[in-house]
Amino acid sequence: MNLPAPGYDQVQVTLGIFCMKTVRPDNSDPIPLRTQPQHVGTIVIRFVGLLLAAVVALALIWSR
């Protein structure tokens, strides 16, 4: 008989078949669709902004 290891939640075992509890959502609303991906321009502007901030921070650290 396959018994669960100590420390695990108790599971009913019948001839090696594990009986599992069914999990259902609280509501039956459909899963929302994915949001639109960000535009390439927005990603580039953020990247350049973060790059400039990093360069300024490193320049300030270097100058001390």
pLDDT at 16: 61
Express the helix, strand and coil content of the chain in percent, nearest 5 each: 40, 5, 55
Instruction: Tell me the pLDDT tens digit for each residue of 6-50.
Output: 555 554 555 566 677 787 777 777 877 877 777 889 999 999 999
Cβ atoms of 2 and 16 within 8 Å: the answer is yes
Query: 55 in a domain, yes or no?
Result: yes
Query: 51 in a domain, yes or no?
Result: yes
pLDDT at 50: 98
| Domain that includes residue 52, residue range | 38-64
Query: 18 in a domain, yes or no?
Result: no
Name the domain count of the chain. 1
Query: 3 in a domain, yes or no?
Result: no
pLDDT at 38: 73
pLDDT at 17: 64
Q: Please determine, for residue 1, whether its predicted confidence score (pLDDT) is greater than 70.
A: no
pTM metric for this prediction: 0.44
